Structure 1
Amino acid sequence: MLELKVNNETSRLRAVVLGSAVDNGPTPKAEEAYDPKSLEHILAGTYPKELDMINEMEAFNTVLKKYDVTVFRPEQIENYNQIFTRDIGFVIDDVFVKSNILPDRERELDAIQYVIDQINPKKVVRPPEEVHIEGGDVMLWNEYIFIGTYKGSDYKEYITARTNVHGVQYIKELFPNKIVKEFDLVKSKIDARDNALHLDCCFQPVGNDKGIIYKNGFREEADYLFLVHLFGKDNLFHITRDEMYNMNSNVFSIDTNVVVSERNFTRLNNWLRANGFVVEEIPYAEIAKQEGLLRCTTLPLKRD
């Protein structure tokens, strides 16, 4: 039996599902793109090559193994993108929530069914159909559950809007003892520099009391200020529009003092080191072209 336990983003990691870039399929057509950044690279002819992405994910896998983390990988599906496991499910406390993802991606969940089969079935839930929620929008911070959403009346028109108000309500009802705080995110179908696809594209905690934040990713200044008050302004690393575009807030914590980061994030990595973190730098810039980075490619199952 696989024991689940995730209460925050930074405690010592013990078990995780890491996505896979093997047999990723051909470069999608422009009309098949799920987000503006992938579209940009498809049109420019700079969409990432499978081998480059496999190498990047292996670099990540090597770091996880170095810290003695149990790593599960999805079963291989032919010609299919299985990189972003964060979207397809997430763990809160000891409960595994299966996401209602875009219908085209349902097979991604099937590929990790062998992992789900090792969990107590009473601890696995699937929300009703009207509930949209993806793991990139769900962030745990001890007694808090932070959830990114989009409250615009045009929600249905945005393929980049992944978590709806029903999703927020569902989590509130499932975890009545937690403080659920939602954040209304800025979305764009056409400019990746103005699109916070998920909450982890504009905010993520690191360590015990710090975080990385992009102020303009929030539609309401009050939401941004809530985090400033909770963490303290001096504890937050503010990223620029370009840094947000390059996914600087989408790093991944293996422990309260160990952060896996992209090797090109010079300004962020220097700040992390200055604040006492061990920074494991790896190449992940090709995967970033699909508007996802390190956190997006992981599904943590157990932290201390």
Structure 2
Amino acid sequence: MIMNKKNEQVFVESEFAPLKRVVLAQSQFSVPTKENMQGEQFLTEDSLEVLKDAYGKDIADALPEVQKKWENEKENFEKLLKKYEVEVIRPRLLTENEKKDGKGEGYSNFFARDPFFVIGQMIIEGSMKFGHRKKEIMPIRHILEHEAEQNECLYLSVPQADRLGEFYDMKGPFLEGGDVLVLNKEIFVGTSGLASNHEGIVWLRNFVSNFGYTVTEVPLHPKILHLDCALSLVKDGLMIICEEAFLEGIPESLKEWDKISVSLEDAQKLITNGLPLNEEVYVTDMEFQSIIGEQLTKKGIMVEYIDYSVSRSFGGSFRCTTQPLLRMNG
């Protein structure tokens, strides 16, 4: 796809092309009531312990000290991104009416990765499966509208989802950014039953095939929320992977890559959800220094560490809280 001068600010080439512009999430979360909580098996016991006193409540009200630490994590991450000259854009905060509308079912404004994604110069709004996340795009949409207008890039949305039936039976289509990994002209999309589904993948394949892309569906273990919770493409030829999470094995185009293998237990702690800033620098949680950090260092990668324990307790880490607008060489 050829870009003109106007749309050089929106383009994602791969997961590890130099990161230049990114949306970094806010820290707002009202936990669904216990009866509205669905599909929580991807959360660890530690995560469920943190949430047990917050069902039906905003974290800021139920756990103010946790809220403050959560916000500090984002501030530290933003400082690190800016250190590497990455332009950081933040969504707006939720309005009081939006919070009121989400009472009971919950609301979220804390993972920018999932409600939209960028492939090449295409901005695509996703379709979220969890009820408390279905309006997560709203605090971000003004950013996307501005980017599309300024850069003349394609901007579209997955069709509205059919949400009838029980959680695992809903037809969708569902398609979430955490499941979408870009590797030049091949797009990997995970499906575990918790987020993106086959109908969403078919829609994406039918659309992006018009622009020379292929889409590879990746069936995942039911305890894995998204593909980026089991796979990180660190640089060309190197990945961090939880092989146990891949129900049909490693995708063909990745089988010859050098790999750092991790357990399913560590994958659930979001060990693969680090963020490459380019092919030389990788961001991960300090908890994972001895498990993957030292191995990455031996392979010539500069590893930056940040404590992201609160974010991880809510089910997402560095990749989950970011969505690139510009990742490209040159």
Query: Which TM-score tier does this pair reach, normalised by the shorter chain?
Result: 0.7 to 0.9
1:8 corresponds in structure 2 to: 14
* TM-score when normalising by structure 2: 0.79
Contact 2:238 2:259 survives alignment (8 Å): yes
Deviations 1:170-194 (A, max 9, x none): 221222112211111111xxxxxxx
Which amino acid is 1:146 matched to? Answer: F
- The yes-or-no answer on 1:30 pairing with 2:34 is yes
**Partner secondary structure for residue 132 of structure 2:** helix
Q: CA–CA distance in 1 between the matches of 2:45 and 2:264? A: 17
Contact 1:37 1:290 survives alignment (8 Å): no
Q: CA–CA distance in 2 between the matches of 1:141 and 1:226? A: 13
Q: CA–CA distance in 2 between the matches of 1:86 and 1:137? A: 9
Q: CA–CA distance in 2 between the matches of 1:16 and 1:63? A: 13
> How far apart are residue 107 of structure 1 and its match?
3.5
Contact 2:42 2:224 survives alignment (8 Å): no
**Partner secondary structure for residue 11 of structure 2:** coil
1:89 corresponds in structure 2 to: 116
- The yes-or-no answer on 1:147 pairing with 2:147 is no
2:57 corresponds in structure 1 to: none
- The yes-or-no answer on 1:226 pairing with 2:232 is no
2:284 corresponds in structure 1 to: 261
User: 1:150-189 residue pairs with structure 2 within 5 A?
Assistant: 150=192, 155=193, 161-176=194-209, 177-187=212-222
Q: CA–CA distance in 2 between the matches of 1:38 and 1:82? A: 18
> How far apart are residue 117 of structure 1 and its match?
1.8
Q: How many percent of aligned residue pairs carry the same amino acid?
A: 27
Q: Aligned pair in 2 of structure 1 residues 10, 220: CA closer, same or farther (>3 Å)?
A: same
2:163 corresponds in structure 1 to: none
Q: Aligned pair in 2 of structure 1 residues 46, 98: CA closer, same or farther (>3 Å)?
A: closer
**Partner secondary structure for residue 118 of structure 1:** helix
Contact 2:43 2:268 survives alignment (8 Å): no
Structure 2: 5+ residue stretches without partners: 1-5, 53-62, 100-106, 161-171
Contact 1:30 1:42 survives alignment (8 Å): no
- The yes-or-no answer on 1:211 pairing with 2:239 is yes
Deviations 1:152-180 (A, max 9, x none): xxx5xxxxx21111211122122211221
Q: Aligned pair in 2 of structure 1 residues 42, 302: CA closer, same or farther (>3 Å)?
A: closer
Contact 1:97 1:125 survives alignment (8 Å): yes
1:98 corresponds in structure 2 to: 125
1:50 corresponds in structure 2 to: 67
Contact 1:30 1:43 survives alignment (8 Å): no
1:158 corresponds in structure 2 to: none
Structure 1: 5+ residue stretches without partners: 156-160, 188-194
Deviations 1:88-122 (A, max 9, x none): 00000001000111453344211112211212356
Contact 1:203 1:211 survives alignment (8 Å): yes
**Partner secondary structure for residue 286 of structure 1:** helix
> How far apart are residue 124 of structure 1 and its match?
0.7
Contact 1:89 1:96 survives alignment (8 Å): yes
Q: Aligned pair in 2 of structure 1 residues 42, 285: CA closer, same or farther (>3 Å)?
A: closer
> How far apart are residue 42 of structure 1 and its match?
6.5
Which amino acid is 1:10 matched to? Answer: F
Deviations 1:41-100 (A, max 9, x none): 565346672111111111111110111111111101155531111110000000100011
Which amino acid is 2:21 matched to? Answer: A
Q: CA–CA distance in 1 between the matches of 2:291 and 2:201? A: 34
1:72 corresponds in structure 2 to: 89
Which amino acid is 2:292 matched to? Answer: L
**Partner secondary structure for residue 202 of structure 2:** helix
Which amino acid is 1:124 matched to? Answer: Y
**Partner secondary structure for residue 283 of structure 2:** strand
Q: Which moved more, 1:71-80 or 1:52-61?
A: 71-80
Deviations 1:181-224 (A, max 9, x none): 1111111xxxxxxx111001111110221001001111223xx2
Q: CA–CA distance in 2 between the matches of 1:9 and 1:86? A: 13
Q: Aligned pair in 2 of structure 1 residues 295, 138: CA closer, same or farther (>3 Å)?
A: same
Q: 2:154 aligns with which of 123, 128, 137?
A: 123
Which amino acid is 2:238 matched to? Answer: K
* TM-score when normalising by structure 1: 0.85
> How far apart are residue 299 of structure 1 and its match?
0.7
1:138 corresponds in structure 2 to: 180
Q: CA–CA distance in 2 between the matches of 1:290 and 1:31? A: 18
Aligned residue-pair number: 281
> How far apart are residue 37 of structure 1 and its match?
5.0
Contact 1:207 1:255 survives alignment (8 Å): yes
Q: CA–CA distance in 1 between the matches of 2:206 and 2:42? A: 34
